[in-house]
Structures are given as C-alpha cells and as structure tokens.
C-alpha cells in the first residue's frame, strides 16, 4: 500500500512539473523521453527496495537507486516551485476572467491564461543547476578530497609538542566505495601531510567487516611517526542489519577490530594512550560511540580517561559531536581538543572555505562541520572521508583534516 501511495504522490507531482516542458515544446519525442526517464528511475527505486532484505544491508545498487531518485526529484521540486508561483497569479486571473466576462462572449474562450513560455524556460534553466550538481556529486564529487588545515593555540600545551601535527580522518564507510584508484589517491594524500599521528574517528564500514577487507592492503600504507589511533562509530557495531544470531553479530565486530589492528590502528575502546616527547606527554583518549537521538551510547568518558591526570593535555576521539555538548564540554576534566565526525555535513550544502558554510544538517546538529570553540575547548567535526546512502557529495567535499598544535595564545 505504501508503495502505491508513493507512486501516486510522485506521479501527481511529476505531472505538475511536466507542465513546464509542455509550455516550452510541443515535441512528442521530448514528452516520451521525459516520461521514460521518470518511469525508469521510479521503477528501479521500487525494484531495489521492494522487499528490502536487512540481512544484506544497504548495497551499492540501493545507493545508486537513491542517488538517481534524488537527481530526478530535486530538479522537479524546483520546477514545481516556479510553476506554483506562476499559478498564484495565473489562477486568480482566470477566475476573475470567468466571472467578469460578458455573457455574449464566445463560450470557447479559455478563462485560464496560458503558461508563459519564458517562465517555463526560466524554471527549466534553474532546475538544470541542481540536476547537474547532483550528477557531478555522484560521479566526481564523492572523491573530491580536500585537505583542510588548522592551527590551534593552547597556553598549556607541553613545550615538546609545539608544532605537533595531527591528521584526522573519519567516516570511511568502506562498503560504499566503487573506485579503488580514488581511495589509493586519498591515502597518498594523507601520507603527504607527514603528520606526527593519524587519528580516525569512527565508521570504518557501513555494517559488515567484510566491506573493509578489499581495502586493507590500501589502508595499510598509512604512515605516521607516532602511530595511528581509532575509535568506533555507530555503524561499526553492525546495528543496522539483521543477523542470524547475536554470536554472528559479535564475530563481525571482532573481525572489524582485527582488521583495524592489521591496518595499524590502535583501537581505543573507552581507553587512552600517552604520546611522550622529551619527558613531556599528551593523552589520546578514545570513547566508544555516544550519540543523542537514538544512537548507541556505549561511550564511557570516565573509564576512557582513567589514569589520565586532570592537568594532562588531552585530545579526545568521540565519533558523534553531540557527545561534546552533552558530556564533554562541562566535564571536570578540561578536554583541550575533541575530534568527531558522524554528520558528513549531510554530503550536501554550500561552502566557501573561511567565508560561508550551510547545510540542512545544521538543523539537526549544532556542531556539524569544522572547528568550534567553547569554554576554552575546541572540537573539530570532520566532514567524512567516504559517503553513505546518497552515493555522492554536493558542495560538502570529503575531508582530510590536518591540525597543528601551537604553544601560546593566538596572535600573541
């Protein structure tokens, strides 16, 4: 029943959007092409998700079906908006004409004014922008890796770590990848940053450890002088697929832990490590996933910081940035820098680096991309390395973050 309702709603909306094309051309070939394209996209979406099997998880073909549906719907929503705006003026004109027309006039006269060709052409031109952007995002944007560099100043940073460089990556979602060469390029790009340490903040896979196996040899090429550390994200626990048994689910998580170790990551499960230089140290603290809004709350901040002195300089790895607001920022321990991911920046938005950034995800997460500061503490929310569900990125590109720690006060 829900599929029938979905098709009816989409069909009615689609016919309304179709009026823009009818006002521009009278060619039946264009009409046929329009409806063939529409039916193919909707048919593929229904085919991919009718009787969806949660045991298999979200596949690449499912992802493509979602992507093409979005590529079709968003431009048509633009068409509908423009057509509806025209009708706000057109329909009242028709009503007025109907009631004010002389009784002796020709009954064949149409009271509703014809759609203006210029408005329809304008609507189609505007709709072409998101259509092209979404297709670009699916073809190239998802691998348009950007290195974002920040310098953060701390008065209590140990002298030995002045100029220390951290590279953060997050949300790899290896099960979504469809281009090995692009992933290899990104790994080379990370290594070129020559950071002292690499920190991964969760969601290595979409659901299953097997998704990572084809890429282990690639990720093993990652190198950092002082090692690599990681935490789990909400997708790493396998909570979003149906398992035959609890044991199978546990084995999947254990396999993922083994693969991370094989790559070279020291996985922190509510635990910590110290990095030492010249008799001084900083703490790397990693919590398991903790998130608001129904997400897993396996993170234990107190346990993770056990053995860390209150006065130690602390870098916290926590996948979900909502944890920062809920527990971290007001904790008696001063967490100098928290590294998170999770939001992906919704993989869609408008951003001019250093000037402007916007994404609908801001209505869900207060801290959704980039550096934020509060109470003398910082959080960086990484936009993500990979992608999920929608097989692309539009305006919010995959990110490799490089943070340099500096001793002292900014601009001092």
Cα gap 209→252, rounded to integer Å = 6
- Per-residue pLDDT band for 96 (boundaries 50, 70, 90) equals low
Does the pLDDT value for residue 278 go beyond 90? Answer: yes
Closest C-alpha among 310, 296, 320, 307 to residue 368:
320
Supply the pLDDT for residue 1: 66
Under 8 Å CB-to-CB from 234, ≥6 apart: which residues? 202, 203, 289, 291, 295, 296, 319, 320, 342
Q: So where are the chain's domains? A: 2-139, 145-407
- Note the pLDDT tens digit of each residue in 280-326: 999 999 999 999 989 999 999 999 999 999 999 999 999 999 999 99
- Note the pLDDT tens digit of each residue in 113-162: 666 788 888 889 999 999 999 999 999 999 999 999 999 999 999 999 99
Does the pLDDT value for residue 104 go beyond 90? Answer: no
Give the least confident one: 16-30, 50-64, 161-175, 181-195.
50-64
- What is residue 398's three-state secondary structure? coil
Give the least confident one: 37-46, 54-63, 320-329, 374-383.
54-63
The CATH number assigned to the domain with range 145-407 reads 3.60.21.10
Predicted TM-score of the model (pTM): 0.91
């Amino acid at each position: 029943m829900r599929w029938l309702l979905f098709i009816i709603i989409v069909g009615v909306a689609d016919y309304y959007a179709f009026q823009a094309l009818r006002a521009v051309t009278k060619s039946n070939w264009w009409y046929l092409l329009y409806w063939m394209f529409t039916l193919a996209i909707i048919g593929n979406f229904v085919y991919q998700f009718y009787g969806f099997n949660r045991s298999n998880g979200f596949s690449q073909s499912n992802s493509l079906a979602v992507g093409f549906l979005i590529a079709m719907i968003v431009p048509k929503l633009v068409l509908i908006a423009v057509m509806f705006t025209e009708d706000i003026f057109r329909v009242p004109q028709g009503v007025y004409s109907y009631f004010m027309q002389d009784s002796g006039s020709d009954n064949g006269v149409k009271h509703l004014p014809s759609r203006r060709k210029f408005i329809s052409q304008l609507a189609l031109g505007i709709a072409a922008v998101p259509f092209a952007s979404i297709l670009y995002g699916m073809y190239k944007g998802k691998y348009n890796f950007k290195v974002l560099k920040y310098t953060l100043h701390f008065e209590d940073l140990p002298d030995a770590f002045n100029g220390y460089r951290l590279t953060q990556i997050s949300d790899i979602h290896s099960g979504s990848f469809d281009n090995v060469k692009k992933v290899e390029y990104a790994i080379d790009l990370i290594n070129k940053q020559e950071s002292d340490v690499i920190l991964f903040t969760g969601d290595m896979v979409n659901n299953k450890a097997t998704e990572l196996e084809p890429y282990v040899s690639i990720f093993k090429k990652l190198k950092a002088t002082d090692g690599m550390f990681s935490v789990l994200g909400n997708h790493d626990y396998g909570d979003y697929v149906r398992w035959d048994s609890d044991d199978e689910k546990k084995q999947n998580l254990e396999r993922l832990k083994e693969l991370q170790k094989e790559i070279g990551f020291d996985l922190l499960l509510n635990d910590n490590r110290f990095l030492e230089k010249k008799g001084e140290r900083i703490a790397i603290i990693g919590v398991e996933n903790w998130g608001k809004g129904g997400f897993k709350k396996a993170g234990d901040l107190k346990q993770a910081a056990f053995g860390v002195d209150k006065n130690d300089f602390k870098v916290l790895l926590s996948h979900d940035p909502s944890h920062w607001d809920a527990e971290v920022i007001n904790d008696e321990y001063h967490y100098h820098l928290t590294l998170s991911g999770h939001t992906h920046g919704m993989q869609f938005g408008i951003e001019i680096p250093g000037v402007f950034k916007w994404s609908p995800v801001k209505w869900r997460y207060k801290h959704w991309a980039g550096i934020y500061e509060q109470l003398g503490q910082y959080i960086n929310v990484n936009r993500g390395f990979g992608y999920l569900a929608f097989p692309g990125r539009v305006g919010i590109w995959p990110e490799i973050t490089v943070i340099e720690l500096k001793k002292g006060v900014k601009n001092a």
